[in-house]
Structure 1
Amino acid sequence: MPTRNVLLITGASTGIGAATARKAVHQGYSVALAARSADKLTALEQELGPDRAHAIVCDVADWDSQKAMLQSTLERFGRLDAVFANAGFSKGSPFYGGPDKPGEWRDMVMTNVFGAAATARLTLPELAKTQGHFLITGSVVGHITSTRNLYSATKWAVTGIAQSIRNEMVGTGVRVSLIEPGVVDTPFWGAVPKPGTPELSPDDVASAVMYALQQPPHVDINNILIRPVGQPH
């Protein structure tokens, strides 16, 4: 049996990450599933089959936790062909007149910005060996200004991270794709009010991820900006 391509997904326990894992396994990948929620990861691993899926409890805001994630992936599958740096969350507190909770901003920046950058730093050497593919979850609000929310600034940062990685990896054969969803119906929102617009499903975004992954090796899908019909911004 030929070796299956291996896809590592952070933020894999729910939403876009879990939907991508399901599609990837269906299309022949082995998947390493990384997130903080052990129970949800274990359930997804059992659903997909332990021979195809490997659950790894990981906090992407912690460098050593990510190092252990990569080591566990390589020990389990022996290679790495693609990485989807998808972990992230939003806290909607405003800049002016909001609660005195700088900790929630710190956690968001550490997950959304540092976490994504650390995933890249750790995994790109492995992807260079396989001429693999690095994908990262940005957002529509990485192009526009979202009021009352530092989250938008973290996604502007992710847009810059993706462009910088692409420039660095020229000549290595590594492809880099920035996936930029609009409003998606996922647990991501938590207590943050959703905009009053139509919504994408996690499967819609996962299909975009798989589209980028399945292009020929000489084709690099740099950006996929995907909104539900009717979302104005």
Structure 2
Amino acid sequence: MSKIILITGASSGIGESCARHAVAAGHKVALAARSSDKLEALVTELGAENALALPTDVTDPEAQERMVARAVAHYGRLDVVLANAGVGASARGTEAAPVESLREMIELNCLAVTYTAKFTLPHLRASKGHMVLTGSKASQGPMWGSVYSATKWFIRGYADNLGEELGAAGGRVTCLHPGMVDTPFFDEAKPDALRPEDVARAFLFAIEQPEYVLIPHLPVYPKPKQP
């Protein structure tokens, strides 16, 4: 069955790849990101009958509320939401990190995700839908002074809490936990990392399970190098 999927952080990397794979699998997508040019180019590629561009600053709750309203007005419902927008650290650890970097990470990686959940939950409750959060392997253990890792620990815990909230209405929540992914998230290529399409396949695997199947957490790691 074709699903209506809202994706934040959809203009590049994991979000963009998830959009392409979703449309290829027969689903329709609403694409949110700051870059309107990239979104429009992606809609042109995927087809206006399959994709909708929603230029949005996800750190602005009013903008997110408008984003959700436009998506629902266009498609009539929401079945899946991928809260994927996020940003990495500009320096290792806490002491070396610029204050602005810390603020941006917490605002985008944590607070913006709660806005996405707040405004989409009524629609996912109505459709008994599926909320998917992009977590990280960085939330699976301690990392030296890493505020980025801490934001992903928030996502990991928040996914469990949302699972209780949406699960009470018959919906599902999944948290993806990718290892390092070779995306524009990094300033240089990461040849030994996952590719965005690897995470996109995991995303589709989770949302296309039968309604009685719940995958609360789904780690996707690059294979360790042989010694």
TM bucket, shorter chain: over 0.9
Aligned mate of 1:65, from 34, 50, 63: 63
1:1-16 pair list within 5 angstroms: 4-16=2-14
Return the alpha-carbon distance in structure 2 between the equivalents of residues 127 and 84 of structure 1: 12
Letter in 2 for 1:213: I
1:109-120 pair list within 5 angstroms: 109-120=106-117
Percent identity of paired positions between Structure 1 and Structure 2? 40
Moved more, 158-167 or 146-155: 146-155
Answer yes or no: is 1:133 the counterpart of 2:130. Answer: yes
Return the alpha-carbon distance in structure 2 between the equivalents of residues 75 and 151 of structure 1: 35
Q: Which residue of 1 aligns with 2:87?
A: 89
> Contact conserved, 2:90 with 2:101, CA < 8 A, in 1?
no
Which blocks of at least 5 consecutive residues in structure 1 are unaligned?
none
Moved more, 223-232 or 104-113: 223-232
Moved more, 212-221 or 163-172: 163-172
What stretches of structure 1 move > 3 A for 4+ residues in a row? 94-97
Moved more, 126-135 or 165-174: 165-174
Q: Which residue of 2 aligns with 1:44?
A: 42
> Contact conserved, 2:87 with 2:108, CA < 8 A, in 1?
yes
Answer yes or no: is 1:171 the counterpart of 2:165. Answer: no
> Contact conserved, 1:7 with 1:82, CA < 8 A, in 2?
yes
Letter in 2 for 1:22: R
> Contact conserved, 2:94 with 2:147, CA < 8 A, in 1?
no
Q: Number of matched residues?
A: 226
Which blocks of at least 5 consecutive residues in structure 2 are unaligned?
none
1:124-203 pair list within 5 angstroms: 124-190=121-187, 198-203=192-197
Q: CA deviation at 1:92?
A: 3.2
> Contact conserved, 1:81 with 1:127, CA < 8 A, in 2?
yes
Indicate the RMSD between aligned Cα atoms, in angstroms.
Answer: 1.8
Letter in 2 for 1:90: G
> Contact conserved, 1:22 with 1:48, CA < 8 A, in 2?
yes
Q: CA deviation at 1:118?
A: 1.1
TM-score of the aligned structures, taking structure 1 as reference length: 0.92
Q: CA deviation at 1:184?
A: 0.4
Return the alpha-carbon distance in structure 1 between the equivalents of residues 142 and 192 of structure 2: 20
> Contact conserved, 1:89 with 1:111, CA < 8 A, in 2?
yes
Return the alpha-carbon distance in structure 2 between the equivalents of residues 98 and 151 of structure 1: 13
Q: CA deviation at 1:78?
A: 1.1
